[in-house]
Amino acid sequence: MPHVRDEHNWIICYLDEESSTPLNVDSFTSHWRPSLNGPSNLVPPDCQWIAINRGRSYDPRPQRINELNAAFKTLSQSHLRDGNITLTVSVLDQLACQYNVKSGKWMIFADLDTVDSVWADVVRLVCLHRRRGLAKVSANREATDRVICVYVDDFTDVKEVKKLRQDLRMIGVKRKIAF
């Protein structure tokens, strides 16, 4: 079984070049199923997310999330019209880049009947095909659908964002997905 940790109501599996084998990937996805059905499921009742981290690379410059939040609040106050914030996507992108908060994600929605197989396909994609990245799936017991998030380190790298979308289509994700 691969290295799995329970961190703040998240189940996170850390895999690297050596441990990212088909056997370990299949073992992880069969034991930690987001549908929360079946006798072999190990997901604790308070678990919010199940995640796979396959050596996600990070920009060495620290993210400045608190500063970004403060700048956003100031900027949004100056862009109020009739009680609505009127910031453009371009302005928000510039703000994210200025404060080095550039990760992005593709979001796939799956119902309880298909989420385990879609999640297993995503984990195989991240661990065995792409050999890098981070993905997570919601484990909310009250929800009838689950969301699977597959991350890119830098949303401004349009080539990488499109490549990940293409890879998701390759593994059979046919529904509309959002970035």
The average pLDDT across 16-42 equals 83
> At 156, which amino acid appears?
T
pTM listed for this prediction: 0.85
Q: Set out the domains of the chain in order of their start, with CATH numbers.
A: 3-58+103-170 (3.30.760.10), 65-98 (no CATH)
| CA–CA dist 164, 9 (Å, integer) | 27
Rg over CA atoms, the chain: 18
Are 63 and 100 a contacting pair, CB within 8 Å?
yes
Mean of all residue pLDDT scores within the chain: 87
So what's the pLDDT on residue 77? 84
Are 117 and 82 a contacting pair, CB within 8 Å?
no
Per-residue pLDDT of 118-155, as tens digits, reads 999 999 999 999 999 999 999 877 788 899 999 999 99
The average pLDDT across 103-130 equals 95
Please name which of 8, 106, 1 lies closest in space to residue 49, comparing C-alpha atoms: 8
The average pLDDT across 107-121 equals 95
The average pLDDT across 38-60 equals 72
| CA–CA dist 120, 101 (Å, integer) | 28
